[in-house]
Amino acid sequence: MQPHQCVPLILCEAAGEALQMLPMLRQLGFEGTVAILTDECDLPYECPPLTKEYLSGDKRDLARTLIRPPEFWPERAIDVIRQIRVSRVDPVRKLVMTTGGRAVEYGSLIWAAGGRARRLSCLGAEASNLFCVRGRGDADAVVAR
């Protein structure tokens, strides 16, 4: 993605289900560039296999949990911008602002952030053997223990 370029469609923090709409948009004739902004360090992957097969060792290779192969995204003019977090949306100026101070102009925005795990606030919530698995880094931390 070029600086100061208007991206026709931005998909923010998309999970597996939201990403499934992208091939359909192409089938329906949408030809513009798509940017996926995510704070993940990996290409989009399916979460249920991460917390089940990945942790059990059946799919320790993250490539086996990817929603699509790595070449899928650039072949379809979909730019996956990783390790970036959207901090604010300005719908009047059609800008998303990132925590790093970057502003990205968009034509259309799909906000598909999903949810974040609620942290426990009860006695024992800080125990070293209690884990919240939201992404691959969390799963790796569990495996390392």
Q: Which domains does the chain possess? A: 6-116 (3.50.50.60)
Query: What is the bridge-based pairing of β-strands 95-98 and 103-111?
Result: antiparallel
* Full-model pTM: 0.77
- Which residue in the block uniquely carries the two structure tokens 């942290």? 119
- Three-class secondary structure of residue 140 per DSSP: helix
- Per-position pLDDT tens, the chain of length 145: 544 467 888 787 666 667 778 888 888 888 888 888 888 888 887 776 666 777 777 666 777 778 889 998 899 888 998 888 899 999 999 999 999 888 989 998 988 876 677 788 888 888 888 888 777 778 888 888 7
CA 41 – CA 66 distance, rounded (Å) = 13
Residue with tokens 């790796």: 140
The structure tokens listed for 105 are 């102009």
